[in-house]
Structure 1
């Protein structure tokens, strides 16, 4: 093993020496025996111009390199540093190849060295990190990195990260190191000799990892605390009402728990309403304005009620960030406030949890894996020494690793139960056990609603619940009760069953069949014929569906760029549709044939299951799960194309520029109120639904109807925000914006871009611009890009700037000034307090396009019922969305800012006033934009 390393970073004019790019700065740090012993840094005269982009990125300009030595002049000093060392860089392939090519260019041979890539090492050893960029890692590890993208600073921080990672690698348990050896052989970093040396050292020292880790079946897991069977000492058993005075006393309770606690009347009132609802078995809707502190307002009475009655209370949210907030921020507060320990369990859908049996099995096939899968296996081995929950949300998976998760996730169909030696350590069963013993069970809307479609409840028995982000419950129920089928899922399942293998079906099934002599060659051959036939038919079916929609093309591109077509199977006609139905029927017949033959094969296994090893039993069960999943997908396809329920809407989406089989079929219930009423609310004693956006112009009627709560006598309450919107915000409507119907989309987009740019020029800060369609977003973005050519400002566009929603928000937060362009999911769930957001622009009132299949069906249903499709469906949905968008601006008592609405309908139509009346009491002004900018200079 090398004890000496050189950590290198180079800044360059571009990516390729062959295309004329050159080094402009080099930084190197030498490490020996775990300590930095030498540093080297120099600007380099590249003898070419530095591009403006590189100058902006690195801060290195032509003047700084003009009198610096050339690379040839530096080579004499540099080459000795690279003798008998390991080469370390943050992204080795780039730095190493660039250096090598520069040396070759001046006629010098670059020495061969073992390499260590800190990106690869970080992915493996820090599996929970959000990002593996150098700046993020430095911040996360508490390292100083004051000049990012300058070679000396980058090399220094890379060296410190490398030392940290080496230390972490060395500290891993012996079993983990041994399991890593066959995986790291395929890595860029030369880790095998290093890990072997660590193993040898541990063996010689007789290290016993069993004291710190749960070492079982050659895997090391984080040790879980043993359950204390001693009965808990008698503790407070009172109600919230009895605890109330202590909670709000002058020197105890909340005053003691918070350093700067101010009593919020709304929060206190909400606590009382939740407590009253639970004790009087009422369903309640509570709209709690931003800043109420609603999570604590429902958690306190909920946990006291659970403790008092020995019954769990379920808390459901739509989003993972809110679940994390409840666990990380609010739970510690509860612990400090209450006179008894609080048991809280987080329970998610089964596919979130790692199946240890499947993962153990996967370690046998490393030689067949891709690089991404090997890296993910190494990641999981390290993660197992750290995780309490085995929840995939903790892991930072590469896109290539996501497919592997499907193979190792927990699922009911391949669960061996107590037959598996992993049963007592199973993350999913452990989560369910925790949930059965908890006061509070935190879950998501999707899992909460499984009772609507499954006989077996996944949550422990409960009668009281709090539903936060309740404005999403109807949408979540609709999603949950709907169906979907697509070509990619079928293709993946058929591949996993083994059609890509030479043997035709999974090789291990063939091996086990031969080993135990339980399957005839004829049955095996018949299965291959049926599986091949269904694959061909599915290929043909999805191509025909794509052609059919392309021909019909009744609606334009949706928000995600797809073309959608609404259909009802028995209303379609023509030879093309008949061919689709016939093909679907053939798929169904082949599926029945596969089911019969596969069941025959599985029955033969079951007849001798006592003779089959645990490993082989697991492999058979996994194969059964894949075939069951294929049959389930085929059943969806059958129902979507050969059946028609009048209570559902059906549609097909295609990718206009995608492959011919890039086709997706959907169905959703037109309304879910009856199902929610009969199968959820009628079965629960008390459900508290809360959100910042439940009412419309002070009325809850729309939500009560959508949720099916009209006949339950549900109580409704509005808790006003503690913020002073009169002082903190302005709603500004530029009169000089044209009406979109008068000018068309392109002209409207151009005018909107000019207005957004003028606001940005006056207020050099951070602005969020919200759209209702991606097409409009892209047009405005492109126009502003042209406008900002001579006075650049960072532009971050959803669907334009690469990265996930979270990544775009993070980039926005890190910028000193920027414009963030967002649609759909950006209207809510973004918390940007203070200077992180001072201007918000709503380009159009957020009406959903009337040609969206589900909305279209809801509008038709409203008309049939004698209602106004616009006033009773479209308008309420738009107002709730508008309130969510408006709520992005003011997040704390200190925030100030302006909301600009560029859609004149808010002031020129009769219904426009309802948008304003549904907002908090915010001053509204309408004038030409330049007048508004002058008037509200203090807000900008």
Structure 2
């Protein structure tokens, strides 16, 4: 029995505190003296003195050096407050800990020490108040991390009162202490009781509360949405509602109202699907209104994502049991999070994204089941698995919050994890249905896709480094005795898998030394791309048409198609004979074995047979020289590509996309459903019938036998008085010095709160390089996607929290930002966001109306970007486009009554300063 802990004591590390800006650094030494240092001097001292700081990766990047030994306050925060939100900045730490916000760099350096003291006091006090079991977990996790050399280890152990080996224990073996989920009887089929529009309005009133402001458009929206929750009359003819709700309408609660009524009346979940993680979080928060009791909400609401988003406990166990000192800190913090997390969701849930940045993605996010290697009920942690728990909770929930990709893949597969698909859907961010379907229903025969299938089949091979990959043999070995043909089929499949790309394939392709059928085909694809593409020496990705093929390519395609046939045939046998056991041995199989067989056969189908069949079909049509058509109409586009990052090849392959991906969406998702609501603030391209036709084409409604219900609610905002739209006429968009100067002056005029949007990453980086220091000198922090060592969601969170900051980003920022208030008061777009003129777009342009299709896409992108500017009644802001070639036919992207004015840069700067400085001033 271990000795009782000693009294806790505060022992701060004897280390300086360091903060770094773009122009220099401030170091507060251990004697309490401040040093203002240039970056070069700060780099030297940082490497020598192991300072306290916030976000080591970002600090190292600003210093221009490799990560170094330091005391990162974010690591301490993650230990003391696992699964709790904190912006990864000094100001973010201050706000999370309730400390005074720092006014300057010296304040920030001092705050690091105060934050360390606060966190160490908190962990000591909290552990004293915890149960014995939780306190023991905390002490033993700290002990294991300290023993491996964690910089905060001595201080944390002192705060916990741990001396010597008193903290030794099993604190990292958290899988032993997680609660088990339990099985329930199968859920009965859903009912078909309608939701009356009056019921939807009444539920909305309850959600809003008696003292909320009345928004008639919101109530009208809820009534219209109720039409998606009527019983259908014919199989294959769902009740479809297309509803455009202008920003500020309150569409989230508007559709939650009828959805929740339907779920309660019919005993089945409604799946609400979003495109962005940000909206998933927002939805989850909004549902607190419906279920204010956390226990009730935990039963009624489930956030559902693909398996690759959740922590795999077997992966965590393998990392912990390796007992490598360099992994101990990550293992300890992951163990702390695993005990505190709501649902094990590592992507957009309560896992702090910055933890992956500072600890390494392989030791954090890499612990998810990203390669489909799950061994299901053979896993010792199966009964505690986060994924299996979420699957079971979703069956009994009222509301399931999912994402477009998961919903579409689930429908295409006939159910991902349990063979079940919902009957009622809400697709929020419905303007992205086309793009999501494009990704979900495409096929890619590439080096990276091929090596993933090979790893799934063969597991870790010699020369594959530190891979934890578990092959099909390990997942299936104790099931093989259930069917006589299974062992031979597995052996044949594993032998045939060696035709797929192997580790090091990229180097062999460049060296002209492929070693198997897939690599020989890919080498010739790469040769054709480089031979046919203009600008092959550029740093960007390259592509070319498949026809006419270069010499030898069709022979290589035939060889690969034959090899894929040899791989697919035994896998089909294995899946069939194992599945047959479910019938033949039904009386003898226990629940776990049945579950494993079902899971394994679904995985074989999804992870191997489906991609192999798609690849084989693509190759055969290439060989035969026929177009991928249906009913005499081209349905697909095929092309070859070399994907590049900064001029370096990282993937080579053949691609197939639907020209109209809403066709498979309509067939696999919409037709089997009983009701769907597809909604967005930017669903239509204009307000006429042609605008609705665009919405029906982009949502797949035109492929259904019955016309949709159309509903449109205008935004309540006074856009003509709350906004300005300026097109700058005297900045050359091809001169990045001029473009950067425009961004700089506009951001300065707005005093921060500026969002800079770009159509190309290279232009973003060039502008950032030119304006970061001038903005920093003016006290306006500049953050940038693709530059800062932070994920996009975290960058947006920081931008939202800091009114004086500015943010540069591309598409993901344009579509995913929800920043009400003064934090976003200026949007600057570098040029008209025309669609990229690639091979896929060329075919879609021909199919969907030529130049009119280009205009529609540009208008919808501008409309979506402008919609970020005003999120609530008191907001006002300026939208600036730095493109003098903006045609007047795109003006329909902006709300009626908003004047689009062409001005010079000087006038745009002056108007921005006046409008945002004086506030809302009607002309």
TM-score, structure 1 length as denominator? Answer: 0.73
User: In structure 2, what is the equivalent of residue 80 of structure 1?
Assistant: none
Q: Distance in 2 between matches of 1:347 and 1:182?
A: 33
Q: Distance in 1 between matches of 2:794 and 2:775?
A: 23
Pick the aligned partner of 1:25 from 24, 28, 43: 28
Q: Determine whether 1:371 maps to 2:326.
A: yes
User: In structure 1, what is the equivalent of residue 95 of structure 2?
Assistant: 139
Q: Determine whether 1:162 maps to 2:124.
A: no
Q: Determine whether 1:888 maps to 2:868.
A: yes
Show CA shifts across 1:789-834 (max 9, x none). 9868544333334432223334434555344332222222212222
Pick the aligned partner of 1:666 from 655, 661, 664: 655
> What 5-or-longer segments of structure 1 have no aligned partner?
16-20, 28-40, 59-70, 76-86, 95-113, 230-235, 863-867
Aligned-CA RMSD value:
5.5
User: In structure 1, what is the equivalent of residue 407 of structure 2?
Assistant: 448
- Displacement after TM superposition at 1:885 (Å): 0.7
- Displacement after TM superposition at 1:598 (Å): 9.9
User: In structure 1, what is the equivalent of residue 821 of structure 2?
Assistant: 834
User: In structure 2, what is the equivalent of residue 8 of structure 1?
Assistant: 14
SS at match of 1:574: coil
- 8 Å CA contact 1:354–1:410 kept in 2: the answer is no
User: In structure 1, what is the equivalent of residue 533 of structure 2?
Assistant: 553
SS at match of 1:846: coil
Q: Determine whether 1:733 maps to 2:727.
A: yes
Q: Determine whether 1:692 maps to 2:681.
A: yes
SS at match of 1:499: coil
Q: Determine whether 1:804 maps to 2:791.
A: yes
Moved more, 874-883 or 546-555: 546-555
User: In structure 2, what is the equivalent of residue 42 of structure 1?
Assistant: 32
Show CA shifts across 1:455-501 (max 9, x none). 33658554332211101112111211112344345556548433338
Q: Distance in 2 between matches of 1:143 and 1:449?
A: 45
- 8 Å CA contact 1:291–1:891 kept in 2: the answer is yes
Q: Distance in 1 between matches of 2:788 and 2:861?
A: 24
User: In structure 1, what is the equivalent of residue 433 of structure 2?
Assistant: 473
Q: Distance in 2 between matches of 1:503 and 1:727?
A: 59
Pick the aligned partner of 1:427 from 373, 376, 386: 386
- 8 Å CA contact 2:194–2:230 kept in 1: the answer is no
Q: Determine whether 1:912 maps to 2:912.
A: no
Q: Determine whether 1:703 maps to 2:689.
A: no
Q: Determine whether 1:353 maps to 2:356.
A: no
Show CA shifts across 1:874-922 (max 9, x none). 111111111001111111111122212232344xx46234334xx2432
- Displacement after TM superposition at 1:448 (Å): 1.7
SS at match of 1:398: helix
User: In structure 1, what is the equivalent of residue 902 of structure 2?
Assistant: 926
Q: Distance in 2 between matches of 1:121 and 1:676?
A: 46
Q: Determine whether 1:716 maps to 2:671.
A: no
Moved more, 686-695 or 832-841: 832-841
Pick the aligned partner of 1:772 from 751, 754, 759: 759
SS at match of 2:339: coil
User: In structure 2, what is the equivalent of residue 653 of structure 1?
Assistant: 642
Q: Distance in 2 between matches of 1:294 and 1:837?
A: 21
Q: Distance in 1 between matches of 2:164 and 2:393?
A: 36
- Displacement after TM superposition at 1:682 (Å): 2.6
SS at match of 2:529: helix
Show CA shifts across 1:743-774 (max 9, x none). xx23xx44433433443343333222222222
Q: Distance in 2 between matches of 1:145 and 1:750?
A: 36
Q: Distance in 2 between matches of 1:756 and 1:243?
A: 46
Q: Determine whether 1:275 maps to 2:226.
A: yes
SS at match of 1:385: helix
> Against the structure 1 CA distance between its residues 362 and 119, is the aligned structure 2 distance closer, same or farther, given a 3 Å change threshold?
same
User: In structure 2, what is the equivalent of residue 860 of structure 1?
Assistant: 846
- Displacement after TM superposition at 1:203 (Å): 11
Q: Distance in 2 between matches of 1:673 and 1:286?
A: 18
SS at match of 2:332: helix
SS at match of 2:542: strand
User: In structure 1, what is the equivalent of residue 66 of structure 2?
Assistant: none
- 8 Å CA contact 1:527–1:597 kept in 2: the answer is no
SS at match of 2:150: coil
The size of the alignment, in residue pairs, is 820
Show CA shifts across 1:282-311 (max 9, x none). 321111111111101111122123223334
SS at match of 1:42: coil
Pick the aligned partner of 2:877 from 893, 897, 910: 897
User: In structure 1, what is the equivalent of residue 505 of structure 2?
Assistant: none
- Displacement after TM superposition at 1:695 (Å): 1.0
> Against the structure 1 CA distance between its residues 687 and 658, is the aligned structure 2 distance closer, same or farther, given a 3 Å change threshold?
same
SS at match of 2:711: strand
> Against the structure 1 CA distance between its residues 542 and 139, is the aligned structure 2 distance closer, same or farther, given a 3 Å change threshold?
farther
> What 5-or-longer segments of structure 2 have no aligned partner?
58-68, 187-192, 233-238, 503-514, 623-627, 630-634, 917-923
Q: Distance in 2 between matches of 1:115 and 1:898?
A: 42
Q: Distance in 1 between matches of 2:198 and 2:908?
A: 50
Trace 1:533-544 onto structure 2 (pairs within 5 A). Answer: 534=500, 535=502, 536-537=515-516, 538=518, 541-544=521-524
- Displacement after TM superposition at 1:728 (Å): 0.7
Greater C-alpha radius of gyration: 1
- 8 Å CA contact 1:555–1:565 kept in 2: the answer is no
> Against the structure 1 CA distance between its residues 274 and 199, is the aligned structure 2 distance closer, same or farther, given a 3 Å change threshold?
farther
SS at match of 1:718: strand
User: In structure 2, what is the equivalent of residue 233 of structure 1?
Assistant: none
User: In structure 2, what is the equivalent of residue 300 of structure 1?
Assistant: 257
> Against the structure 1 CA distance between its residues 223 and 780, is the aligned structure 2 distance closer, same or farther, given a 3 Å change threshold?
same
> Against the structure 1 CA distance between its residues 813 and 203, is the aligned structure 2 distance closer, same or farther, given a 3 Å change threshold?
closer
User: In structure 2, what is the equivalent of residue 869 of structure 1?
Assistant: 850
> Against the structure 1 CA distance between its residues 162 and 666, is the aligned structure 2 distance closer, same or farther, given a 3 Å change threshold?
farther
Q: Distance in 2 between matches of 1:910 and 1:6?
A: 63
> Against the structure 1 CA distance between its residues 178 and 532, is the aligned structure 2 distance closer, same or farther, given a 3 Å change threshold?
farther
> Against the structure 1 CA distance between its residues 286 and 527, is the aligned structure 2 distance closer, same or farther, given a 3 Å change threshold?
closer
Q: Distance in 2 between matches of 1:435 and 1:807?
A: 28
Q: Distance in 2 between matches of 1:880 and 1:708?
A: 17
Q: Determine whether 1:588 maps to 2:550.
A: no
User: In structure 2, what is the equivalent of residue 326 of structure 1?
Assistant: 283
Trace 1:752-771 onto structure 2 (pairs within 5 A). Answer: 752-771=739-758
Q: Distance in 2 between matches of 1:599 and 1:120?
A: 45
Q: Determine whether 1:843 maps to 2:830.
A: yes
Q: Distance in 1 between matches of 2:471 and 2:262?
A: 55
Q: Distance in 1 between matches of 2:175 and 2:784?
A: 47
Q: Distance in 1 between matches of 2:697 and 2:475?
A: 58
- Displacement after TM superposition at 1:116 (Å): 8.1
SS at match of 1:723: coil
- 8 Å CA contact 2:430–2:699 kept in 1: the answer is no
- 8 Å CA contact 1:672–1:706 kept in 2: the answer is no
> Against the structure 1 CA distance between its residues 24 and 565, is the aligned structure 2 distance closer, same or farther, given a 3 Å change threshold?
closer
- 8 Å CA contact 2:143–2:168 kept in 1: the answer is no
User: In structure 2, what is the equivalent of residue 36 of structure 1?
Assistant: none
Q: Distance in 1 between matches of 2:145 and 2:70?
A: 16
- 8 Å CA contact 1:8–1:26 kept in 2: the answer is no
- 8 Å CA contact 1:220–1:384 kept in 2: the answer is no
> Against the structure 1 CA distance between its residues 193 and 628, is the aligned structure 2 distance closer, same or farther, given a 3 Å change threshold?
farther
- Displacement after TM superposition at 1:655 (Å): 1.4
Q: Determine whether 1:386 maps to 2:344.
A: no
